[in-house]
Copies of this chain bind each other. A is one copy, B any other.
Amino acid sequence: MTAPTTADLLALDRAAQDLLFRVARTANTFTDEPVTDAQVAAIHDLIRYGPTAYNGQPLRVLLLRSAAARARLLPYVSSSNRAKTASAPLVAVLAADVDFHERLPELYPHRPQARDWLSDRPARAEQARFSATLQIGYLLVGVRAAGLAAGPMAGFDATGVTREFFPDGRHEALLLLNLGHPGPDAWAEQRLPRLSTEEVVWTL
């Protein structure tokens, strides 16, 4: 763990630091305890305040609650992720709305022309992916803020999931997320090593 002096430099209290970052782990197994719609709404109501470019908020969250929806997902999940995806109490597909610019006159009202700056679809899709990925960072923090474990999974066929769940052509799947309470052996290994500040932060 970290020396108290470093943690004490933060305004956020130590219990919250532990809940969100220091003790929280990516869970690989979950109990049967459900994750309710009210919990998901509370998480979203917290993290929706995080900043995005043009306040565009392109992240969309598709909850797969029914057995039929879960079954549609599994063929696109890598073999190493399939068992935990099948058993998690709740699985979400996290996606970017590439046509988020349509809402900008309302979301960014002091510069309504921003919608027109984003008329080029490939450039807009890149913006959508970037801001939605920032929001996924906030969301992972928010899941932990709810006392739940998050299980993000990049090992899946994103093109296939996009086609399967977003046939409208305006959304792109970015990440799968298992949510729940950690089960037995949720993290069997030692915590993986993290880079030091000296390796990550440079000064000019």
Whether the pair B12, A50 counts as a contact (CB closer than 8 A) is no
Query: Within 8 Å of chain B (Cβ to Cβ): is A146?
Result: yes
Whether the pair A193, B106 counts as a contact (CB closer than 8 A) is yes
Say how far A13's CB is from chain B's closest CB, in angstroms.
Answer: 7
Say how far A11's CB is from chain B's closest CB, in angstroms.
Answer: 3
Contact digits for A6-45, partner B, Cβ 8 Å, 1 yes 0 no = 1101111100110111101010000000000111111111
Q: Identify which of residues 99-127 in chain A touch chain B, using a CB-to-CB cut-off of 8 Å.
A: 103, 106-110, 127
Number of A residues with CB within 8 Å of any CB on chain B: 81
* CA distance in complex: A13, B12 (Å): 10
Partner of A204, one of B42, B45, B66, B108: B66
Whether the pair A2, B45 counts as a contact (CB closer than 8 A) is yes
Partner of A145, one of B17, B41, B42: B17
